[in-house]
Structure 1
Amino acid sequence: MPAAARDRALAFCARFGLRAPILQAPMAGASPAPLAAAVANAGGLGALGALLTAPEGIRDWAAEFRGRSNGGFQINVWIPDPPPLRDAGHEARVRAVLSRVGGGIAVPEAGPGPFLPDFGAQLDAILEAAPPAVSSIMGLFPPDFAAELKARGIAWFANATTAAEARAAEAAGADAVVAQGAEAGGHRGSFEPGAADAQTVGLFALLPQVADAVSVPVIAAGGIMDGRGVAAALTLGASAVQAGTAFLRCPEAAVHPRWAEALAGARPEDTVLTRAFSGRLARGLRNRVTEAFAAGSGVEAAPYPVQRALMGAVRAAAEKAGDAGAMQAWAGQGAALARAEPAGDVVRLLWDGAQALSP
């Protein structure tokens, strides 16, 4: 890793109060406070993926984090999509497919919604929690909220999947841009849902272009699992890295044991981009659910977040039965490199490993 890259990372750490330029990805449903606190206590930045978290849950999470750590954390929310177009006949076909892959379980109708917490109330709770950083995905914050973050001294990290999205984020006032490569586990952060399939550029092709496109710091995300990946990302223009799958096997993540086991044996080709779990394009482990909605299967997933609601019964049954074949198991392409070690040790291994590659 060149000295200039290391200096850039250290400048990022100084600006945001870190000892290591390692950010935990804000994974909705897989970012409990103990995980975030362990990352922060090791010098990185913890995170809450608050997509599914009600306002009181956001406040409770922040209080629990602060009871465990004096370090930093980010809270991430999705920018809402327009209301989905509903088709009762199509949803009935989706329910039939999900019932089959779930072993014949009953899959109830999704109902009228709402399927997610109130976005405005979430933003109010985030301001009340006063994290050092707030991050966005699937678009940009409204100008008034972005201005409120500035006024309160809260940093805004904006997820981007293209150089054009990164430029738009900087123009909107983002303090840093998270360049998300196609290797990343979980949901693609494309601003336009329909564009996600075409915006699947690998991190190490995307990263230098984003770094050239913006003047704010760039945070690299996607497939970074060890010190080699950290060093490569910093060399290509990143100021820090954000890792998600790398932390999923840590005991503090508390994911389902079968999910953690499946990660350990996953080859890069065992992960797929799919809409089967939520209706939004995302990368997870290939299983019966993803295969049932793969191209050529004859049935497309329902739109987000209807598909996620329809998946609820299958997801719950699979977790109860320990059935990884029907489980919603997010994973990046580097899953097999994830370590079943304490999260603090993972942070240190990532940063120490990168520094060991310095000339």
Structure 2
Amino acid sequence: MLPRSVSTRAVALLGALALGVVGLVAPSAADPVGHHVVAKTDPRKKLGLFVDPKMPAYQQGGAYRQEIGSRAQAFWVIPEAYDTSHVKDKILEYTGDAAAARKTPVLTIYGIPGRDCGQYSSGNPFTTAAQYRGWIKQIAAGLRGTRPLVILEPDALPLFSSSVQSCPTKPDGWQAMLRYASRKLSSAGAWVYLDAGHSNWTPYDTRPKYLKAAGVAFDRGFSTNVSNFRPLADEKAYAAKMLRGLRKLGITGKHYVVDTSRNGAAPPDGSGYDVINPTWARLGRAPRLLFDGAFDGTLWVKHPGESDGQVNGGGPSGRWCDMLADRLIDGTSDQGSCP
């Protein structure tokens, strides 16, 4: 389980957000497993990803802007920053910026009750399904016509479905909440990727079953490796297993994306597998949509340079830190700490 970035553009500048639209058809009687009908002229097939100048690394300037801020990164929508009464307006603001740049917005929804199981990113004001559904409804209302990619609830499904790791904050009805969000956001036109954890999050033989129950049939597909460090080859192999599992359950035509923001290096021998600001992590492959079979491409969902939590010199989850960014760029700051 991984801590999330909960400040992002939201806390850094209280900027804006977005989601999107176009080319998707939600499951119906004629399409029971949720195949997406995507027009060949869908803008997401042509446009590049939106580079938001309000993101922390871009604002830092210098090498941080060049190496990190110049790449597209997801805008995290969190209830701490954008509650039900404000979230629609912020979505319209952010997607308006993306539209003006003629690029595709990328957004992460991170607000399900009980998220992160009480750890670094658990500060969520939502405690009920009704609160969550009302928030998602407003998000969906802001999405129509905006044509984005949406990562839905990092870690929620693998955390809540784990057979080996207890989650004291797991909410009742979590699958129904994810299913509602999958259906609502996809019906608004977003390409939604329901988060499926990563290749080292085991056991996962039953994960396709949970993906189905959580509404992946309504979505474009699923995401992997969000805020984690697994090699791209491992994630592709893992995604292939998920796709095979879904096909056995009657769900076909799904796609996936991989977060490559910090998977550019493997852990040194004997180091174990640290996932909280590991000193050996480096920037991974740049975000790019490829549409190679089921593999839609690489994204930077986690913001490089933002802390995972107060471990290995990091500050509070989501806080920008020059030292952490330096580590990721060239490994020059393996020691030190954030202010």
| TM-score, normalising length: structure 2 | 0.45
| TM-score, normalising length: structure 1 | 0.43
- The structure with the largest alpha-carbon Rg is 1
Q: Which structure carries more helix by proportion?
A: 1
